Amino acid sequence: MDRNLRTPVIAANWKMYKTIPEAVAFVHALESKVKSSKVKVVIIPPFTALNAVAEAADLTKILVGAQNISEHSEGPYTGEISPVQVSDAGAQYALVGHSERRRYFHEPNSLINGKLKAALKYDLIPILCVGETLEERKAGQTHEVIGKQLAECLDGISIDLAVNVVIAYEPVWAIGTGVTAIPEEAQAVHQFCRKTLEKFWGSIAEKIPLIYGGSVKADNAAELMKQKDIDGLLVGGASLSVETFSSIVNFD
Ligand code: PGA
């Protein structure tokens, strides 16, 4: 496996936090701290701050993502936001299938597959989140659950498009709980994901960034990033402070 085929991605998922002025101030403060980093730094703000963050991040190395998108490009879907609109607002990435969307908004794999295809159609890089619950892990079903999520969410994605996908392994039991997967434990699942992608797309699997999320902090980022199939991090709680997030980005 050649890790150099993949540029690391470290993304901040702000969830439902921050007003526009707070978001803009964060980007201005972050900019100088991540200037020389070799990783792709992605801020994923709430929709209300997306355009303001994109403008503040313009001409910096900071990239911008949306937390969710509709599977439709436009139409009478009150409350939804399309991939065309987030792209218009300045996003280059879109999260799809985050476990909070699966859990609280009952998003099934078939819908996530539609969102992922919509992202690719409008030139957004989808970050597909997969992960098992604690019950599933305890029952020894981790591979089965993640294998099914990958197969169903990535169904129908051709090899030429596959190279634009990012996968985030986020064990549900590690999200917002303060319990991080042990780096070797996370690596084992990442390796399983890579092997599964290889079955779909052959050697392209080597080029796909597999990032880890779930209680990432400044003091565990380096250890996680040492694992050979961990190509980045998706950070929730610890991404809300410039100090903490910048030290995660500058993990080495
Ligand atoms: P956390 O969230 O870092 O707060 O655990 C990660 C995520 O939900 O993407």
Question: In which band, very low, low, confident or very high, does the pLDDT at 5 lie, cut at 50, 70 and 90?
Answer: confident
Does residue 14 carry a pLDDT above 90? yes
Residue 190 among the catalytic residues: no
Q: How far is 166 from 162, CA to CA, in rounded Å? A: 9
Does residue 2 carry a pLDDT above 60? no
Distance from Cα 236 to the centre of ligand 1, integer Å: 4
What is the reported pLDDT for 252? 84
- Do 246 and 33 meet the contact criterion of CB atoms below 8 Å apart? yes
The angle subtended at Cα 185 by Cα 183 and Cα 190, nearest 5°, is 90
What single-letter DSSP state applies at residue 92?
Answer: S
- Do 153 and 116 meet the contact criterion of CB atoms below 8 Å apart? yes
pTM to 2 decimal places: 0.97
- What is the mean predicted confidence (pLDDT) over 166-176? 94
Sole residue written with tokens 């597999």: 210
Distance from Cα 232 to the centre of ligand 1, integer Å: 13
- What is the mean predicted confidence (pLDDT) over 34-63? 97
User: Is ligand 1 within 6 A of the CB of residue 131?
Assistant: no
Average of per-residue pLDDT values in the chain: 96
What single-letter DSSP state applies at residue 181?
Answer: P
User: Is ligand 1 within 6 A of the CB of residue 215?
Assistant: yes
Tens-place pLDDT, residues 175-231: 888 888 899 999 999 999 999 999 999 999 999 999 999 999 999 999 999 999 999
What is the reported pLDDT for 34? 96
Total number of residues shown for the chain: 252
Tens-place pLDDT, residues 143-168: 999 999 999 999 999 999 999 999 99
**Structure token pair of residue 132:** 């098992």
Tens-place pLDDT, residues 54-77: 999 999 999 999 999 999 999 999
- State which ligand 1 atom lies nearest to the alpha carbon of 238: 3
What percent of the chain lies above the pLDDT cut of 90?
Answer: 94
Distance from Cα 202 to the centre of ligand 1, integer Å: 30
Q: Among 235, 240, 248, name the best residue to mutate to test ligand 1's pocket (greatest count of ligand atoms within 8 A of Cβ).
A: 235
Residues ≥6 apart with Cβ < 8 Å to 65: 11, 42, 43, 44, 91, 92, 93, 94, 95, 125, 127
What single-letter DSSP state applies at residue 122?
Answer: T
Question: In which band, very low, low, confident or very high, does the pLDDT at 1 lie, cut at 50, 70 and 90?
Answer: very low
Q: Can you spell out the DSSP letters for 8-40?
A: -EEEEE-TT---HHHHHHHHHHHHHHHTT--SE
User: Is ligand 1 within 6 A of the CB of residue 67?
Assistant: no
Catalytic member of 100, 107, 170, 190: 170
Chain Cα centroid distance, residue 216:
13
Phi and psi at residue 70, to the nearest 5°? -80, 160
Q: Whose CA is nearest to atom 1 of ligand 1?
A: 236
Q: Identify residue 89 by its one-letter amino acid code.
A: A
Residue 98 among the catalytic residues: yes
